[in-house]
Structures are given as C-alpha cells and as structure tokens.
C-alpha cells in the first residue's frame, strides 16, 4: 500500500464527487500507515493510528468512500454497521467479532497471494491429475518406442486439456472428504474449535474416498482447491495474516450515530447502546482479541467511523470514545451542480448503468444534457422539500423517469430513445412539487 496521498485522492475522485476534506484526511491516514511500516520496530510501536470520524448526511458519499477503499487496497479491510452489535449479555453480535471478521479477510488476501505465487505448481498438479484419468498409464514392460509414442500422446493431451478442448469429457474423480471450516466469527474461538473437532471426527468415521463423475471443467475447480490445501502452508498463511491485520488492518465503522445516546429520544433508546460504546472502547484503544487463528493486538488497527448524526451529535458519544477519534471531518451536503457531476463525471455512473442495461434489449438510450440538468435540479428540489437523502435520490428519480421505457424496452429493439428535458419535467414536476406525493413516491 504505497500510493501517495495525491494518488489515493485521484482514485477516489473517479467515484466520489466533491468531499475533498474527507478524501484528503483518509489519504493522509493511509499514507501514515505506509510511512510507519518503514521505520524501526521500536518507533513503530509508539506511533498510534489517528482514527477518523466522518460526519455527514446520508447519501453524501461516506459509505461510497469505504467501498472504493476496499476495492483499491490490498490490506485487510472490512466495513461493519455499528447498529448490528449489542452489549455482551444481549442477544446479537459482540464487538469483538469485527476483529475476527478482519482476520478472516486478511487470511483470504494472503491465501490468494500465495495461490498466485504457486500458480504454476497448482496448475501442474491439476493438469497431471486430469491427464492421468484421461490417459491410462503404460504397463511397466512397454518397449522404448511405445514409451516415446505415449510421451507424445501425453503432451498432446495436456495441450488439449489446457486449451479447454476436453472440458465436456467426464472423468471419475476421487477426493477426500473436505473438513468443513467454521468461519462464524460471532462464536467464541473455543466453541469454533470444538465445532471443527466434531467435523474432523465425523469425517474420519467414514474414511472411504468420494468417487464422483464430473466434467473436466468442474474437475479443474475441484482439483485447484485440493492442490491449494496440499501445496500451501496454512500455518504460515495464518501467521502472516495476523501480522497484516495487526499492522495494516482498517475497520470502517458505519452508522456510529445509531449507538449514540441522544437527549431527544432518551425514552426510545435501546439499553445496550451505551454498553456497545463501552465494549467498543477497549478495542479502539488497543487490546488483545483471541481468534481461532491466534491472538491479535488491536493497537495499530485504523478505525474510520461514519454517521449522519441527524438525531444525535458526536458529543453524545461517551467522552472516552470521542477521544479515540481525534480526526473529525464533515462532509458537505450535495448541491444541484454536485448531483449533475455525479451523473456525468463518475466512472460507471447511473446513466451509464441504465444505458448498458437497456442495450441488452437492443435499445440505444441517450440522455440530453438539459435532461441530465433537469434530473439533478428536481432531485435537489426533492431533497429540500422532504428528507435530504443525498445522491440516493437520483436512483428514485431516474427509476421514475425510465419506468415505462424500461418496461416496454423489448418492443423497441434496434431503436434510439432520447431522454429530453421535457420528458423529465412531464414525469416529475407534479410529483416533486406536491409535498404528499413526493414523500410517498420519491
């Protein structure tokens, strides 16, 4: 993860419009993690991550930033909803399970890397197994000329298997019963180990190998998994994954405002909310969490929290938790111009998605610039009149505009359909300006 802050911001600009402050803060936090890893071990231990609290209305890009970070980075990263956790003693997920989720994610990253490094070995293993089934071996007493002919046949068969020419052929495959791996991170590690032990006991009761008729195409997938389990050192993978989760792990904690205790709704608050904050505190401050793969220290995990804070405010969180999120960044509400840019300047924008979807029906959908501006204007107006749901309003508005066109798209194969500003206004003006209608329809 050695991208510069400018490169990180540039990448996020492709998907999230405006919100420069939030992008800059996150880019610096990520770069600081890279810088820390280049220092001496003693100094590394002293440098603690500066956790971030993002504050902004729904639909302004908080979650989208986290989604794009997850795709961009090769470090352990998970996004969790704070509202789904409960205090220890209540029924539900306890906060330590988010650390176990992070470890599982880290193992997946490291395992994929090791599979890529050993791709040739895995490929050879799969190829040899399949060719053995397709081409019976020569008897020991075969002559040299027979052996030469067999070798040529073997090479030809390998090429045919690799090229996919033999994918439809069926072979009988023998494979050991796979032990089920339990990755329920909500279970205490001890219970997860007990479950795995039972799994091993039951699988050893019936030691007969499974024999199954499968196509060569399916055999490639089955044998690839078998090769990974046999060729990769899982102990080293677990050890490396724990280190990466400890030093490079990032947890995006969404909806943190839902566990804040606001004065306005004191009577309706779930009694476990403050308990969740108290349980979260030691994890964010730094503690040791036991997982079935080993103990992980949370001192250097970066937490990025986000919340709309409509009903509550950041000061409604317990003071100790507030102190563990020293970097505060406020995301701006979306303007009419921002909504227009979201529709026209982002990679894979909603307009491109609708154009691609209707092209499946052989229909060429074209949006006039004035129509796009009308969609942005009416979406902004709907946000002003009713609840401000940010860019999410664009989904509803566009669906309303394209509803009939999409429904009868199969009747217009090979045709070009232009979305004009008049069409947009005809569909939406009455709905947007009528307060009751807009609340129910948009």
Residue ranges and CATH numbers for the domains of the chain are 5-109+241-330 (3.40.50.300), 124-231 (no CATH), 336-432 (1.10.8.60)
Split at pLDDT 50, 70, 90, the class of 339 is very high
pLDDT recorded at residue 242: 94
Contact 68, 15 (CB under 8 A): yes
Q: How many residues are listed for the chain in this entry?
A: 442
Q: Residue 81 — φ and ψ, nearest 5°?
A: -100, 125
- Please tell me the least confidently modeled range out of 171-185, 204-218, 340-354: 171-185
Give which of 153, 104, 97 is closest to 280, Cα–Cα: 97
Residue 325: strand pairing partners: none
Q: Indicate the pairing of strand 294-297 with strand 302-307.
A: unpaired
SS3 296: strand
Which residues, in sequence order, are CB contacts of 412 under 8 Å at separation 6+?
A: 361, 363
CA distance 58 to 68: 17
Query: Do 373 and 425 meet the contact criterion of CB atoms below 8 Å apart?
Result: no
- The C-alpha atoms of residue 81 and residue 100 are separated, in whole angstroms, by 15
Judge whether 241 and 107 are in contact, CB under 8 Å.
yes
Give the count of alpha carbons within 13 A of 361, CB side only.
19
The pLDDT-based confidence of 237 (bands split at 50, 70, 90) is very high
Least confident of 24-38, 109-123, 174-188, 376-390: 174-188
Q: What is the mean pLDDT of the chain?
A: 84
Return the residue matching tokens 């540039």.
Answer: 10
Tokens of 322: 């507030």
Q: How confident is the model at residue 131 (pLDDT cuts 50, 70, 90)?
A: confident
The per-residue pLDDT for 267 is 45
* Joined tokens for residue 199: 């799994």
Radius of gyration of the chain (CA): 28
Mean pLDDT value of segment 241-245: 92
Are the C-beta atoms of 30 and 68 separated by less than 8 Å? no
Q: What is the pLDDT of residues 276-310, one digit of tens each?
A: 888 899 999 889 999 889 999 999 999 999 998 88
Sign of torsion over alpha carbons 196, 197, 198, 201 = positive
What pLDDT digit, counting tens, does each position of 168-209 carry? Answer: 888 877 765 554 455 555 666 666 666 666 566 655 555 455
More confident residue, 205 or 413: 413
The pLDDT of residue 104 is 93
């Amino acid at each position: 993860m050695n991208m510069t802050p400018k490169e990180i911001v540039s990448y996020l600009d492709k998907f999230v419009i405006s919100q420069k402050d939030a992008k800059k803060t996150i880019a610096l936090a990520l770069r600081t993690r890279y810088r820390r890893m280049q220092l001496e071990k003693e100094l590394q231990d002293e440098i603690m991550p500066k956790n971030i609290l993002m504050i902004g209305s729904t639909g302004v890009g908080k979650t989208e930033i986290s989604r794009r970070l997850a795709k961009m980075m090769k470090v352990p990263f998970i996004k969790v909803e704070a509202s789904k956790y409960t205090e220890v003693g209540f029924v539900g997920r306890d906060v330590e399970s988010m650390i176990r989720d992070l470890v599982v994610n880290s193992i997946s990253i490291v395992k994929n890397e090791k599979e890529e490094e050993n791709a040739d070995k895995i490929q050879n293993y799969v190829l040899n197994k399949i060719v053995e089934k397709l081409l019976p071996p020569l008897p020991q007493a075969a002559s040299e000329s027979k052996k030469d002919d067999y070798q040529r046949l073997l090479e030809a068969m390998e090429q045919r298997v690799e090229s996919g020419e033999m994918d439809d052929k069926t072979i009988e495959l023998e494979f050991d019963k796979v032990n089920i791996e339990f990755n329920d991170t909500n279970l205490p590690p001890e219970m997860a180990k007990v479950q795995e032990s039972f799994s091993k006991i039951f699988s050893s009761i019936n030691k007969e190998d499974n024999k199954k008729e499968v196509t060569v195409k399916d055999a490639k997938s089955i044998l690839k998994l078998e090769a990974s389990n046999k060729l990769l050192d899982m102990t080293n993978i677990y050890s490396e994954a724990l280190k990466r989760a400890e030093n490079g792990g990032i947890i995006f904690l969404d909806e943190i405002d839902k566990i804040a205790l606001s004065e306005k709704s004191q009577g309706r608050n779930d009694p476990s909310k403050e308990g969740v904050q108290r349980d979260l505190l030691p994890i964010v401050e730094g503690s040791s969490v036991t997982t079935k793969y080993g103990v992980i220290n949370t001192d250097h995990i970066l937490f990025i929290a986000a919340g709309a804070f409509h009903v509550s405010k950041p000061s409604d969180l317990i003071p100790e938790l507030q102190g563990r999120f020293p970097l505060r960044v406020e995301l701006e509400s979306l303007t009419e111009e921002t909504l227009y840019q979201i529709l026209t300047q982002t990679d894979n924008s909603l307009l491109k998605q609708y154009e691609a979807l209707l092209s499946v029906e052989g229909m060429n959908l074209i949006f006039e610039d004035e129509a796009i501006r009308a969609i942005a204007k009416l979406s902004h107006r709907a946000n002003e009149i009713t609840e401000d749901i940010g860019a999410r309003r664009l989904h509803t508005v566009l669906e309303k505009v394209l509803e009939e066109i999409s429904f009868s798209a199969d009747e217009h194969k090979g045709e070009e359909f232009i979305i004009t500003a008049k069409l947009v206004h005809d569909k939406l003006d009455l709905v947007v300006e009528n307060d009751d209608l807009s609340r129910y329809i948009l």
